[in-house]
Amino acid sequence: MSTPPSSSLQAPGRGRFARWLETAPSAAFVLIAVTAAFTTYFSMYAFRKPFAAARFEGLYFMGTAIGLKTALVIGQIIGYALSKWVGIKFCSEIAPGRRAKTLVTLVLIAEFALLLFAVVPDPLKVVALFFNGIPLGMIWGLVVWYLEGRRTSEILMAGLACSFIVASGVTKDFARALMAGTIADLWAHLPLLGPLIGNALGKVSEFWMPFITGLHFLPFFLFGVWTLQQLPKPNAADVATRAPRTPMNGSDRLAFLRRFGLGMLLLCTAYFFLTAYRDFRDNYQVEIFEELGYRYDDNKVIISQAETLVTAGVIAAMALLNAIHGNRKALLTAFIIMTGGLLMLGGATALFSAGWVNGFWWMTLTGLGSYLAYVPFNAMLFERLMAATRATGTAVFAIYVADSVGYTGSVGIQLFKDLAQKSSTRLGFFQTYTWFLCIVGSTCLIAAAVYFLRRSQTAAEPGPTPTS
């Protein structure tokens, strides 16, 4: 396990807790860093996903055939996708001293957009969610900056990645509880201001629910960001093992794409369809579970249950990655895990179609398969790719190139479903798309694995790890 960073690399004037982290036992450092990253990104989901827990039944966008919920999902995803394109430059260049303030500013802008969502007329609610998506798309890259380039990066990033798997289910179940009045009842039993808050909340409407959810999670977000800011920089041993991570200017970014162009094209093609799949499953879980026969009244936390099982599987896979010391071997293992995840989609769907697994386990297995492929894209794959090829720069850049393409695909698939496949149910479309992703995605990943493993042969692995 890595030793914590040396104090010689740190800026003066750091607080007592930050100075302690510089010499803390490695296990303590990892636990605190994972907790900080998990808390920050988990809380961010409370500003992004709760609206998906509402059905907005019988409401359509400006008199068209497009349902209001579909329009809201697309509006937010367009903002989120635009944010990813902006993040290619912004997140790869940002100076360390600006990260914490930027994180807080971005979330406050997103929460203000949710307030607008609650009060503006229905057609403008799509615009409000568009502006909600713009700041949120850059938060991932800013958090990854704190974690990459360390010998324990896989553990740290696995904790970060698992946050959005768990958060997706928990924040939507929390949102449904707000609308059902359960959260108000909980407040009413707390001392001091609890009864007053509970009476004020009551049953929260579909349109106020996203803003109220964000308010509940804002203190946790602020705590997570503060803790991230206390983390020391990677030490000399980390840099020797994983290559230095530095901000990238325009020429650096262009050089990276020229060097790895074909491989990035294959990865981005797979990620284009994978992100759209993951987003469709995430945004319409409520509807798909109900089509499968799981009604809310009898299954209040079914989404959280499924995503908790998914998280356990993903953590086990990412722990395996961290246990592999050779960067090239770890890169190969990452591709095996990702390709296996996409093949799992086809296997699970075959079992479901044959009646050998029920709807709950099918949704759980499609979640596990898609996240086994999706999670490495968000950190671990590019972390090991940078280390195995000894490429200079930051993994954040490669992550945001893939993300910008991926969320563009998510917009396209949402529109394709409602305009070209409007007769299909959410469940029927999802089942067909699962087969498509299994075949196309796994083919692209196998080709990308061959490409990058050949490229990594020319990059020498680092020698013995120096101590600090």
Instruction: For the chain, give the secondary structure using H, E and C.
Output: CCCCCCHHHCCCCCCHHHHHHHHCCHHHHHHHHHHHHHHHHHHHHHHHCHHHHCCCCCCECCCCCCEHHHHHHHHHHHHHHHHHHHHHHHHHHCCHHHHHHHHHHHHHHHHHHHHHHHHCCHHHHHHHHHHHHHHHCCHHHHHHHHHCCCCCHHHHHHHHHHHHHHHHHHHHHHHHHHHHCHHHHHHHCCCCCHHHHHHHHCCCCCCCHHHHHHHHHHHHHHHHHHHHHHCCCCCHHHHHHHCCECCCCHHHHHHHHHHCHHHHHHHHHHHHHHHHHHHHHHHCHHHHHHHCCCCHHHCCCHHHHHHHHHHHHHHHHHHHHHHCCCHHHHHHHHHHHHHHHHHHHHHHHHHHHCCCCCHHHHHHHHHHHHHHHHHHHCCHHHHHHHHHHCCCECHHHHHHHHHHHHHHHHHHHHHHHHHHCCCCCHHHHHHHHHHHHHHHHHHHHHHHHHHHHHHHCCCCCCCCCCCC
How far, in Å, CA of 368 to CA of 79, rounded?
Answer: 27
Is pLDDT above 50 for 307? yes
Residue 379 has pLDDT above 70, yes or no: no
CB of 444 closer than 8 Å to CB of 266: yes
Of 287 and 392, more confident: 287
Q: What is the dihedral of CA 398, 401, 402, 405, to 10 degrees?
A: 180
pLDDT at residue 258 in the model: 80
Answer whether residue 160 shows pLDDT above 90: no
Is the pLDDT score of 211 beyond 90? yes
Beta-ladder partners of 393: 245
Question: Is position 115 within any domain?
Answer: yes
Give the pLDDT mean for 263-291: 87
Residue 2 confidence (pLDDT) above 80: no
Bridge partner residues of 412 (DSSP): none
Please tell me the predicted confidence (pLDDT) of residue 149: 67
Is the pLDDT at 92 greater than 50? The verdict is yes
Looking up residue 272, the CATH number of its domain turns out to be 1.20.1250.20
> Of 29-33, 84-88, 249-253, where does the model show the most confidence?
29-33
Specify the pLDDT at position 108: 96
| Mean per-residue pLDDT of the chain | 80
Give 219 or 389, the one with higher predicted confidence: 219
> What distances in angstroms separate CA 357 from CA 18, 282, 362, one per listed residue?
49, 21, 6
Number of domains in the chain: 1
Residue-level pLDDT at 452: 84
How far is Cα of residue 116 from the mean position of the Cα atoms in its chain?
25
The total of other beta-carbon atoms located within 10 Å of residue 75's CB is: 22
Please report the pLDDT score of residue 349 as a whole number: 94
Highest-confidence range of 77-81, 200-204, 301-305, 389-393, by mean pLDDT? 77-81
pLDDT at 212 over 70: yes
What is the predicted pLDDT for the residue at 242?
Answer: 56
Residue-level pLDDT at 4:
46
What's the burial of 403, exposed, middle or buried (CB within 10 Å: 0-12/13-18/19+)? buried
Q: Which domain holds residue 150?
A: 17-456
pLDDT score recorded for residue 8: 37
Is residue 330 within 8 A of residue 321, CB to CB? The reply is: yes
Q: Is the pLDDT of residue 131 over 90?
A: yes
Lowest mean pLDDT among 22-26, 68-72, 92-96, 285-289: 92-96
d(CA 205, CA 408): 30
CA 73 to chain centre: 16
Rounded to the nearest 10 degrees, the angle between the axes of helix 380-389 and helix 153-180 is: 160
Name beta bridge partners: 67: 60
Query: Is 251 a member of any domain?
Result: yes
> Domain for residue 389, yes or no?
yes
Higher model confidence: residue 370 or residue 423?
Answer: 370
What pLDDT, on a 0 to 100 scale, did the predictor assign at position 7? 38
| Residue 439 scores a pLDDT above 70 | yes
Highest mean pLDDT among 23-32, 115-124, 146-155: 115-124
Instruction: Please indicate, yes or no, if residue 1 is contained in any of the structural domains.
Output: no
Mean pLDDT to the nearest integer, 29-45: 91
Which residue is it, tokens 């090239």? 328
The share of the chain scoring above pLDDT 90, in percent, equals: 24
Asked if residue 158 is part of any domain, the answer here is: yes
Per the model's pLDDT, the better-predicted residue between 71 and 304 turns out to be 71
What torsion do the CA atoms of 293, 296, 301, 304 make, to the nearest 10 degrees?
A: 60
Residue 172 pLDDT: 81
Confidence of residue 297 (pLDDT cuts 50, 70, 90): low
Question: Does pTM top 0.75 for this prediction?
Answer: no
d(CA 405, CA 267): 10
Question: Does the structure show a pLDDT above 80 at 63?
Answer: no
Dump pLDDT digits (tens) for 225-242: 999 998 887 766 656 655
Instruction: Tell me which of 403 and 12 has the higher pLDDT.
Output: 403
In a domain, 246, yes or no: yes
Tell whether the model's pLDDT for residue 454 goes beyond 90.
no
Mean pLDDT, range 434-457, rounded to an integer: 88
The answer to whether residue 11 is domain-embedded is no
Please report, to the nearest 10 degrees, the dihedral formed by the alpha carbons of residues 205, 208, 209, 213 taken in order.
Answer: -150
Residue 9 lies in a domain: no
Summarize the confidence of residues 398-414 as an average pLDDT: 76
- pLDDT score for 377: 80
Res 342 pLDDT > 90: yes
